[in-house]
Structure 1
Amino acid sequence: MQPGLYVALSGQMALMRRLETLAHNVANVTTAGFRAEEIKFDELLSQRTDSPTAFVSAGSTYISRRAGEVVRTENPFDVAVTGDGWLAFNGSDGPVYTRDGRMTMTPEGELRTLNGHPVLDVGGAPIQLNPNGGAPTIASDGTITQGQQQMGALGLFTIPQHAKLTRFENSGVRPDVPAEPALDFSRTGVLQGFIEHANVNPVSEISRLIQIQRSFDSIGNAMAKSEDTLQSAIRTLGETS
Protein backbone atom coordinates (compact mmCIF):
# COMPACT_ATOMS: atom_id res chain seq x y z
CA MET A 1 0.00 0.00 0.00
CA GLN A 2 1.22 3.49 -0.84
CA PRO A 3 -0.39 5.86 1.68
CA GLY A 4 1.15 8.83 -0.14
CA LEU A 5 -1.11 8.20 -3.15
CA TYR A 6 -4.22 8.14 -0.98
CA VAL A 7 -3.14 11.29 0.85
CA ALA A 8 -2.63 13.04 -2.49
CA LEU A 9 -6.00 11.82 -3.73
CA SER A 10 -7.72 13.16 -0.62
CA GLY A 11 -6.02 16.50 -1.28
CA GLN A 12 -7.29 16.59 -4.86
CA MET A 13 -10.83 15.79 -3.77
CA ALA A 14 -10.70 18.62 -1.22
CA LEU A 15 -9.40 21.02 -3.89
CA MET A 16 -12.20 20.04 -6.26
CA ARG A 17 -14.80 20.82 -3.62
CA ARG A 18 -13.17 24.17 -2.91
CA LEU A 19 -13.13 24.86 -6.65
CA GLU A 20 -16.88 24.30 -6.81
CA THR A 21 -17.58 26.77 -3.99
CA LEU A 22 -15.32 29.42 -5.53
CA ALA A 23 -16.99 29.04 -8.91
CA HIS A 24 -20.40 29.48 -7.28
CA ASN A 25 -19.19 32.61 -5.47
CA VAL A 26 -17.79 34.15 -8.64
CA ALA A 27 -21.01 33.38 -10.53
CA ASN A 28 -22.95 35.39 -7.92
CA VAL A 29 -20.58 38.34 -7.55
CA THR A 30 -23.29 40.69 -8.90
CA THR A 31 -26.14 39.18 -6.84
CA ALA A 32 -27.31 41.73 -4.25
CA GLY A 33 -27.11 40.42 -0.69
CA PHE A 34 -25.39 37.17 -1.71
CA ARG A 35 -23.35 35.54 1.06
CA ALA A 36 -20.21 33.74 -0.08
CA GLU A 37 -19.81 30.04 0.58
CA GLU A 38 -16.66 29.03 2.41
CA ILE A 39 -15.29 25.61 3.23
CA LYS A 40 -13.39 24.32 6.25
CA PHE A 41 -11.02 21.40 5.99
CA ASP A 42 -9.93 19.17 8.86
CA GLU A 43 -7.14 16.65 9.17
CA LEU A 44 -8.13 12.99 9.39
CA LEU A 45 -5.66 10.64 11.06
CA SER A 46 -5.66 7.02 9.93
CA GLN A 47 -4.15 4.21 12.05
CA ARG A 48 -4.38 1.57 9.31
CA THR A 49 -0.74 1.95 8.31
CA ASP A 50 2.42 1.17 10.29
CA SER A 51 2.65 4.87 11.21
CA PRO A 52 -0.30 7.28 11.56
CA THR A 53 -1.17 8.89 8.22
CA ALA A 54 -2.85 12.29 7.92
CA PHE A 55 -5.50 12.72 5.22
CA VAL A 56 -7.43 15.82 4.15
CA SER A 57 -11.14 15.68 4.94
CA ALA A 58 -13.76 16.32 2.26
CA GLY A 59 -14.46 19.61 4.03
CA SER A 60 -17.57 21.19 5.49
CA THR A 61 -19.14 24.25 3.88
CA TYR A 62 -20.59 27.25 5.64
CA ILE A 63 -22.08 30.59 4.57
CA SER A 64 -19.95 33.63 5.32
CA ARG A 65 -21.66 36.43 7.25
CA ARG A 66 -19.20 39.21 6.51
CA ALA A 67 -20.78 42.37 5.12
CA GLY A 68 -20.69 43.35 1.45
CA GLU A 69 -20.18 46.77 -0.08
CA VAL A 70 -23.10 49.20 0.37
CA VAL A 71 -23.93 51.37 -2.64
CA ARG A 72 -26.46 54.15 -3.17
CA THR A 73 -29.35 53.61 -5.59
CA GLU A 74 -31.77 56.42 -4.62
CA ASN A 75 -34.62 53.94 -5.05
CA PRO A 76 -37.04 54.37 -2.10
CA PHE A 77 -37.86 50.65 -2.23
CA ASP A 78 -34.22 49.67 -1.70
CA VAL A 79 -32.73 49.23 1.76
CA ALA A 80 -29.34 48.06 2.96
CA VAL A 81 -29.15 46.34 6.33
CA THR A 82 -26.51 47.61 8.73
CA GLY A 83 -24.89 45.63 11.53
CA ASP A 84 -25.70 41.94 11.96
CA GLY A 85 -29.38 42.24 11.06
CA TRP A 86 -31.40 40.40 8.44
CA LEU A 87 -34.67 41.15 6.65
CA ALA A 88 -37.31 38.44 6.41
CA PHE A 89 -39.66 37.27 3.69
CA ASN A 90 -42.11 34.44 3.39
CA GLY A 91 -40.57 31.55 1.44
CA SER A 92 -42.16 28.37 0.17
CA ASP A 93 -41.87 26.75 3.61
CA GLY A 94 -41.72 29.47 6.24
CA PRO A 95 -39.63 32.59 6.82
CA VAL A 96 -36.37 33.17 4.97
CA TYR A 97 -33.77 35.75 5.97
CA THR A 98 -31.81 37.92 3.57
CA ARG A 99 -29.53 40.92 3.19
CA ASP A 100 -30.99 41.68 -0.25
CA GLY A 101 -33.15 44.72 0.48
CA ARG A 102 -34.49 45.32 -3.02
CA MET A 103 -38.27 45.50 -2.79
CA THR A 104 -41.29 46.45 -4.85
CA MET A 105 -44.94 47.30 -4.21
CA THR A 106 -47.69 45.43 -6.03
CA PRO A 107 -50.72 47.26 -7.46
CA GLU A 108 -52.57 46.05 -4.35
CA GLY A 109 -49.99 47.62 -2.04
CA GLU A 110 -48.22 44.43 -0.95
CA LEU A 111 -44.52 44.88 -0.21
CA ARG A 112 -42.59 42.09 -1.90
CA THR A 113 -39.06 41.05 -2.82
CA LEU A 114 -38.01 41.26 -6.46
CA ASN A 115 -38.72 37.51 -6.69
CA GLY A 116 -42.30 38.06 -5.52
CA HIS A 117 -42.01 36.87 -1.90
CA PRO A 118 -43.98 38.84 0.73
CA VAL A 119 -41.73 40.97 2.95
CA LEU A 120 -42.47 40.34 6.65
CA ASP A 121 -42.70 42.54 9.72
CA VAL A 122 -41.21 41.57 13.07
CA GLY A 123 -44.31 39.52 13.89
CA GLY A 124 -43.97 37.48 10.71
CA ALA A 125 -46.94 39.11 8.93
CA PRO A 126 -46.79 40.42 5.33
CA ILE A 127 -46.48 44.20 5.06
CA GLN A 128 -49.36 46.04 3.40
CA LEU A 129 -48.92 49.57 2.07
CA ASN A 130 -51.36 52.06 0.56
CA PRO A 131 -51.16 51.48 -3.21
CA ASN A 132 -52.11 55.13 -3.74
CA GLY A 133 -49.89 56.51 -0.97
CA GLY A 134 -46.77 57.03 -3.07
CA ALA A 135 -43.22 56.02 -2.28
CA PRO A 136 -42.64 55.07 1.37
CA THR A 137 -40.19 56.61 3.80
CA ILE A 138 -38.26 53.99 5.74
CA ALA A 139 -36.54 54.99 8.97
CA SER A 140 -33.33 53.42 10.26
CA ASP A 141 -35.33 51.15 12.60
CA GLY A 142 -37.42 49.90 9.68
CA THR A 143 -40.55 51.98 10.39
CA ILE A 144 -42.45 52.64 7.16
CA THR A 145 -44.55 55.75 6.60
CA GLN A 146 -46.47 57.08 3.62
CA GLY A 147 -47.18 60.76 3.95
CA GLN A 148 -47.85 61.22 7.67
CA GLN A 149 -49.29 57.75 8.21
CA GLN A 150 -47.28 54.88 9.69
CA MET A 151 -47.94 51.74 7.65
CA GLY A 152 -45.83 49.21 9.53
CA ALA A 153 -42.20 48.29 9.95
CA LEU A 154 -39.72 46.02 8.28
CA GLY A 155 -38.88 43.01 10.38
CA LEU A 156 -35.25 43.14 11.46
CA PHE A 157 -33.79 39.97 12.92
CA THR A 158 -30.53 38.64 14.26
CA ILE A 159 -29.36 35.09 13.75
CA PRO A 160 -27.29 33.43 16.52
CA GLN A 161 -23.65 33.02 15.59
CA HIS A 162 -23.74 29.27 16.25
CA ALA A 163 -26.63 28.73 13.82
CA LYS A 164 -25.95 26.70 10.68
CA LEU A 165 -27.27 28.46 7.58
CA THR A 166 -28.68 26.77 4.50
CA ARG A 167 -29.20 28.65 1.28
CA PHE A 168 -32.60 29.57 -0.17
CA GLU A 169 -32.48 30.67 -3.80
CA ASN A 170 -29.40 32.92 -4.17
CA SER A 171 -29.47 35.51 -1.40
CA GLY A 172 -31.75 33.96 1.22
CA VAL A 173 -30.76 31.77 4.16
CA ARG A 174 -32.55 29.55 6.65
CA PRO A 175 -30.97 29.00 10.09
CA ASP A 176 -31.32 25.74 12.01
CA VAL A 177 -32.29 27.73 15.12
CA PRO A 178 -34.91 30.49 15.33
CA ALA A 179 -33.88 34.03 14.42
CA GLU A 180 -34.54 36.69 17.04
CA PRO A 181 -36.06 40.17 16.61
CA ALA A 182 -33.40 42.88 16.62
CA LEU A 183 -33.60 45.02 19.75
CA ASP A 184 -30.56 47.29 19.55
CA PHE A 185 -31.19 49.71 16.68
CA SER A 186 -28.04 51.63 17.45
CA ARG A 187 -26.10 48.68 16.01
CA THR A 188 -28.64 47.18 13.62
CA GLY A 189 -30.86 49.04 11.16
CA VAL A 190 -31.51 49.90 7.52
CA LEU A 191 -30.44 52.59 5.08
CA GLN A 192 -33.12 53.61 2.58
CA GLY A 193 -31.98 54.16 -0.98
CA PHE A 194 -29.02 51.79 -0.69
CA ILE A 195 -28.37 48.11 -1.42
CA GLU A 196 -25.68 45.73 -0.24
CA HIS A 197 -23.66 43.95 -2.87
CA ALA A 198 -22.45 40.37 -2.57
CA ASN A 199 -19.71 39.87 0.03
CA VAL A 200 -17.52 38.33 -2.68
CA ASN A 201 -14.21 39.90 -3.71
CA PRO A 202 -13.90 38.83 -7.37
CA VAL A 203 -10.17 39.54 -7.59
CA SER A 204 -9.48 37.48 -4.47
CA GLU A 205 -11.72 34.63 -5.60
CA ILE A 206 -10.13 34.44 -9.06
CA SER A 207 -6.68 34.43 -7.43
CA ARG A 208 -7.81 31.51 -5.30
CA LEU A 209 -9.08 29.70 -8.40
CA ILE A 210 -5.63 30.03 -9.99
CA GLN A 211 -3.89 28.84 -6.82
CA ILE A 212 -6.18 25.81 -6.57
CA GLN A 213 -5.55 24.89 -10.20
CA ARG A 214 -1.80 25.07 -9.61
CA SER A 215 -2.07 22.99 -6.44
CA PHE A 216 -4.19 20.41 -8.24
CA ASP A 217 -1.60 20.14 -11.03
CA SER A 218 1.22 19.91 -8.48
CA ILE A 219 -0.47 17.05 -6.64
CA GLY A 220 -1.14 15.30 -9.94
CA ASN A 221 2.54 15.52 -10.87
CA ALA A 222 3.56 14.17 -7.47
CA MET A 223 1.17 11.23 -7.87
CA ALA A 224 2.57 10.49 -11.34
CA LYS A 225 6.15 10.51 -10.02
CA SER A 226 5.15 8.24 -7.13
CA GLU A 227 3.53 5.81 -9.57
CA ASP A 228 6.65 5.86 -11.79
CA THR A 229 8.81 5.12 -8.74
CA LEU A 230 6.59 2.18 -7.81
CA GLN A 231 6.68 0.76 -11.34
CA SER A 232 10.45 1.16 -11.43
CA ALA A 233 10.79 -0.67 -8.13
CA ILE A 234 8.61 -3.51 -9.39
CA ARG A 235 10.67 -3.86 -12.56
CA THR A 236 13.92 -3.85 -10.56
CA LEU A 237 12.65 -6.54 -8.20
CA GLY A 238 11.48 -8.60 -11.14
CA GLU A 239 14.88 -8.44 -12.81
CA THR A 240 16.75 -9.48 -9.65
CA SER A 241 14.44 -12.32 -8.65
Structure 2
Amino acid sequence: MRDSLYVALSSQIALERRLDTIADNVANASTIGFRATGVKFEDVVSGTGQKSVSFASPGKTYLSGAHGALSETGNPFDFAVQGDAWFAIETPVGTVMTRDGRFSMNENGELMSLEGHPVLDAGGSPIQLDPRNGPPKAGADGSLRQNDQLVGSIGLYNFDPGPNFVRYGNSGIVPARTPEPVTDRADIGVAQGFLEESNVNPVL
Protein backbone atom coordinates (compact mmCIF):
# COMPACT_ATOMS: atom_id res chain seq x y z
CA MET A 1 0.00 0.00 0.00
CA ARG A 2 2.79 2.37 0.94
CA ASP A 3 4.67 1.59 -2.28
CA SER A 4 1.59 2.34 -4.40
CA LEU A 5 1.24 5.72 -2.71
CA TYR A 6 4.90 6.50 -3.37
CA VAL A 7 4.51 5.50 -7.03
CA ALA A 8 1.44 7.73 -7.40
CA LEU A 9 3.21 10.63 -5.68
CA SER A 10 6.32 10.31 -7.83
CA SER A 11 4.16 10.26 -10.96
CA GLN A 12 2.32 13.37 -9.80
CA ILE A 13 5.57 15.22 -9.14
CA ALA A 14 6.88 14.27 -12.58
CA LEU A 15 3.63 15.41 -14.22
CA GLU A 16 3.70 18.76 -12.42
CA ARG A 17 7.28 19.35 -13.50
CA ARG A 18 6.41 18.56 -17.10
CA LEU A 19 3.42 20.92 -17.03
CA ASP A 20 5.50 23.71 -15.46
CA THR A 21 8.11 23.27 -18.20
CA ILE A 22 5.49 23.36 -20.95
CA ALA A 23 3.91 26.48 -19.44
CA ASP A 24 7.26 28.29 -19.34
CA ASN A 25 8.05 27.31 -22.93
CA VAL A 26 4.66 28.46 -24.21
CA ALA A 27 5.01 31.76 -22.33
CA ASN A 28 8.27 32.35 -24.24
CA ALA A 29 7.09 31.22 -27.68
CA SER A 30 7.54 34.81 -28.92
CA THR A 31 10.73 35.61 -27.00
CA ILE A 32 13.65 36.44 -29.29
CA GLY A 33 16.53 33.98 -28.92
CA PHE A 34 14.70 31.74 -26.43
CA ARG A 35 15.75 28.10 -26.26
CA ALA A 36 13.08 25.72 -24.96
CA THR A 37 13.53 23.61 -21.85
CA GLY A 38 12.97 19.86 -22.01
CA VAL A 39 12.62 17.34 -19.20
CA LYS A 40 13.90 13.77 -19.42
CA PHE A 41 12.23 11.23 -17.14
CA GLU A 42 13.56 7.82 -16.15
CA ASP A 43 12.12 5.00 -14.09
CA VAL A 44 13.84 4.39 -10.78
CA VAL A 45 13.61 0.80 -9.53
CA SER A 46 13.60 0.15 -5.80
CA GLY A 47 14.04 -3.35 -4.37
CA THR A 48 14.79 -6.61 -6.17
CA GLY A 49 12.90 -9.49 -7.72
CA GLN A 50 9.16 -9.65 -7.14
CA LYS A 51 9.42 -6.91 -4.51
CA SER A 52 10.89 -4.37 -6.91
CA VAL A 53 8.89 -1.18 -7.44
CA SER A 54 9.31 1.28 -10.31
CA PHE A 55 9.07 4.98 -9.46
CA ALA A 56 8.99 7.94 -11.82
CA SER A 57 12.08 10.13 -11.40
CA PRO A 58 11.56 13.89 -10.89
CA GLY A 59 13.28 14.35 -14.24
CA LYS A 60 16.37 16.17 -15.48
CA THR A 61 16.06 19.39 -17.43
CA TYR A 62 17.99 20.05 -20.62
CA LEU A 63 18.22 22.93 -23.07
CA SER A 64 16.89 22.29 -26.56
CA GLY A 65 19.58 22.59 -29.20
CA ALA A 66 17.14 23.24 -32.04
CA HIS A 67 17.60 26.52 -33.88
CA GLY A 68 14.82 29.08 -34.09
CA ALA A 69 13.83 30.56 -37.45
CA LEU A 70 15.64 33.70 -38.60
CA SER A 71 13.52 36.80 -39.09
CA GLU A 72 14.81 39.66 -41.24
CA THR A 73 14.48 43.09 -39.62
CA GLY A 74 16.80 45.25 -41.69
CA ASN A 75 18.06 46.88 -38.48
CA PRO A 76 21.88 47.10 -38.65
CA PHE A 77 22.05 46.58 -34.88
CA ASP A 78 20.12 43.30 -35.00
CA PHE A 79 22.25 40.16 -35.18
CA ALA A 80 21.56 36.43 -35.33
CA VAL A 81 23.98 33.60 -34.67
CA GLN A 82 24.27 31.12 -37.51
CA GLY A 83 25.33 27.72 -36.22
CA ASP A 84 25.97 26.31 -32.77
CA ALA A 85 27.31 29.26 -30.81
CA TRP A 86 26.20 32.05 -28.51
CA PHE A 87 26.71 35.76 -27.99
CA ALA A 88 28.23 36.78 -24.64
CA ILE A 89 27.15 39.76 -22.55
CA GLU A 90 28.55 41.08 -19.27
CA THR A 91 25.94 41.33 -16.51
CA PRO A 92 25.90 41.91 -12.74
CA VAL A 93 26.04 38.10 -12.27
CA GLY A 94 28.96 37.71 -14.68
CA THR A 95 29.12 36.55 -18.29
CA VAL A 96 25.80 35.37 -19.70
CA MET A 97 25.21 33.48 -22.95
CA THR A 98 22.37 34.59 -25.21
CA ARG A 99 21.00 34.14 -28.73
CA ASP A 100 19.11 37.45 -28.48
CA GLY A 101 20.98 39.79 -30.81
CA ARG A 102 18.95 42.96 -30.32
CA PHE A 103 21.91 45.27 -29.79
CA SER A 104 22.44 49.02 -29.86
CA MET A 105 25.27 51.53 -29.60
CA ASN A 106 25.24 53.91 -26.65
CA GLU A 107 26.54 57.47 -26.64
CA ASN A 108 30.02 56.24 -25.76
CA GLY A 109 30.13 53.82 -28.68
CA GLU A 110 29.73 50.65 -26.62
CA LEU A 111 27.74 47.83 -28.21
CA MET A 112 24.99 46.97 -25.73
CA SER A 113 22.34 44.28 -25.33
CA LEU A 114 18.65 45.10 -25.17
CA GLU A 115 18.89 45.17 -21.35
CA GLY A 116 21.86 47.55 -21.46
CA HIS A 117 24.66 45.05 -20.86
CA PRO A 118 27.96 45.24 -22.80
CA VAL A 119 28.35 42.78 -25.67
CA LEU A 120 31.71 40.98 -25.55
CA ASP A 121 34.28 40.18 -28.20
CA ALA A 122 36.14 36.87 -28.47
CA GLY A 123 38.62 38.02 -25.83
CA GLY A 124 35.89 38.72 -23.30
CA SER A 125 36.16 42.51 -23.56
CA PRO A 126 33.29 44.93 -24.26
CA ILE A 127 33.01 45.89 -27.92
CA GLN A 128 33.89 49.55 -28.51
CA LEU A 129 32.70 51.37 -31.63
CA ASP A 130 33.07 55.00 -32.74
CA PRO A 131 29.76 56.74 -31.99
CA ARG A 132 30.51 59.35 -34.66
CA ASN A 133 30.56 56.82 -37.49
CA GLY A 134 27.10 55.28 -37.24
CA PRO A 135 26.11 51.62 -37.42
CA PRO A 136 28.88 49.13 -38.20
CA LYS A 137 28.89 46.73 -41.11
CA ALA A 138 29.27 43.14 -39.96
CA GLY A 139 30.96 40.38 -41.89
CA ALA A 140 29.69 36.81 -41.77
CA ASP A 141 32.55 36.06 -39.37
CA GLY A 142 31.33 38.73 -36.93
CA SER A 143 33.95 41.31 -37.84
CA LEU A 144 32.74 44.91 -37.46
CA ARG A 145 33.77 47.78 -39.71
CA GLN A 146 33.06 51.50 -39.69
CA ASN A 147 34.14 53.62 -42.66
CA ASP A 148 35.78 50.47 -44.05
CA GLN A 149 38.02 50.24 -40.99
CA LEU A 150 38.03 47.14 -38.78
CA VAL A 151 36.91 48.27 -35.33
CA GLY A 152 36.11 45.00 -33.58
CA SER A 153 34.48 41.61 -33.79
CA ILE A 154 31.44 40.08 -32.13
CA GLY A 155 32.46 37.23 -29.86
CA LEU A 156 30.86 33.84 -30.43
CA TYR A 157 31.15 31.19 -27.75
CA ASN A 158 30.50 27.51 -27.08
CA PHE A 159 29.44 26.15 -23.71
CA ASP A 160 27.67 23.16 -22.23
CA PRO A 161 24.54 24.26 -20.32
CA GLY A 162 24.28 20.85 -18.67
CA PRO A 163 21.30 19.76 -16.58
CA ASN A 164 19.54 22.16 -14.22
CA PHE A 165 20.96 25.19 -16.01
CA VAL A 166 20.21 28.70 -14.74
CA ARG A 167 18.41 31.24 -16.90
CA TYR A 168 19.10 34.96 -16.87
CA GLY A 169 16.16 37.04 -17.98
CA ASN A 170 14.12 35.37 -20.69
CA SER A 171 16.72 34.15 -23.18
CA GLY A 172 20.03 34.28 -21.31
CA ILE A 173 21.83 31.29 -19.78
CA VAL A 174 24.39 31.58 -16.96
CA PRO A 175 27.23 29.18 -17.86
CA ALA A 176 28.37 26.83 -15.11
CA ARG A 177 31.87 26.82 -16.59
CA THR A 178 33.87 29.40 -18.50
CA PRO A 179 32.61 29.45 -22.12
CA GLU A 180 35.09 28.84 -24.91
CA PRO A 181 35.40 31.32 -27.81
CA VAL A 182 34.75 29.84 -31.24
CA THR A 183 37.98 29.73 -33.21
CA ASP A 184 36.81 27.86 -36.31
CA ARG A 185 34.00 29.86 -37.88
CA ALA A 186 33.72 27.82 -41.07
CA ASP A 187 30.17 26.75 -40.16
CA ILE A 188 29.43 29.41 -37.54
CA GLY A 189 28.83 33.09 -38.13
CA VAL A 190 26.69 36.17 -37.73
CA ALA A 191 23.81 37.49 -39.83
CA GLN A 192 23.34 41.26 -39.60
CA GLY A 193 19.80 42.60 -39.90
CA PHE A 194 18.28 39.34 -38.66
CA LEU A 195 17.01 37.98 -35.34
CA GLU A 196 16.52 34.40 -34.21
CA GLU A 197 12.99 33.64 -33.11
CA SER A 198 12.12 31.34 -30.21
CA ASN A 199 12.59 27.65 -30.99
CA VAL A 200 9.46 26.70 -29.02
CA ASN A 201 6.99 24.57 -30.97
CA PRO A 202 3.57 26.02 -30.03
CA VAL A 203 1.82 22.84 -31.13
CA LEU A 204 1.64 20.59 -28.08
Say yes or no: TM over 0.5. yes
Tell whether the 8 Å contact from 1:163 to 1:176 is kept in structure 2 after alignment.
no
Instruction: Work out the CA distance in 2 between the residues paired with 1:34 and 1:48.
Output: 43
**Equivalent residues, number:** 204
- Between the aligned partners of 1:164 and 1:25, the Cα distance in structure 2 is 15
- The amino acid of 1:183's aligned partner reads T
- Residues of 2 paired with 1:114 and 1:162: CA distance? 26
* Superposition RMSD in Å: 1.9
* Structure with the bigger percentage of helix: 1
Match in the other structure for 2:113: 113
Higher radius of gyration, 1 or 2: 1
Structural mapping, 1:54-203, within 5 Å = 54-160=54-160, 165-203=165-203
The one-letter code sitting in structure 2 at the alignment partner of 1:13 is I
Comparing 165-174 with 148-157, greater Cα deviation is found at 165-174
| TM superposition outliers: structure 1 runs of 4+ over 6 Å | none
Render the CA deviation track for 1:109-154: whole Å, top value 9, x for unaligned: 1110010000011111111111110111011111111111211110
Name the CA shift for 1:160/1:17 in 2 (closer, same or farther; >3 Å).
Answer: closer
Corresponding position of 1:5: 5
Within 2, Cα distance between the matches of 1:124 and 1:172? 17
**1:148-176 deviation per Cα after TM superposition (whole angstroms, max 9, x unaligned):** 12111101111248687421111111222
Query: Which secondary structure state, in structure 1, belongs to the residue aligned with residue 65 of structure 2?
Result: coil
Kindly state the Cα deviation for residue 22 of structure 1 after the two structures are TM-superposed. 0.6
Q: In the alignment, residue 143 of structure 1 is paired with which amino acid?
A: S
Change (3 A) 1:35 1:118: same
Letter in 2 for 1:140: A
Farther-moved stretch of structure 1 (190-199 vs 49-58): 49-58
Q: Structure 1: which 5+ runs fail to align?
A: 208-241
Counterpart of 1:68 in 2: which secondary structure? coil
Determine the C-alpha separation between the residues in 1 that align with 2:54 and 2:160: 33
Q: Distance in 2 between matches of 1:138 and 1:163?
A: 34
TM-score by length of 2: 0.93
The aligned counterpart of 2:16 is 16
Identity of aligned residues (%): 48
Q: How far 1:93 sits from its partner (Å)?
A: 2.4
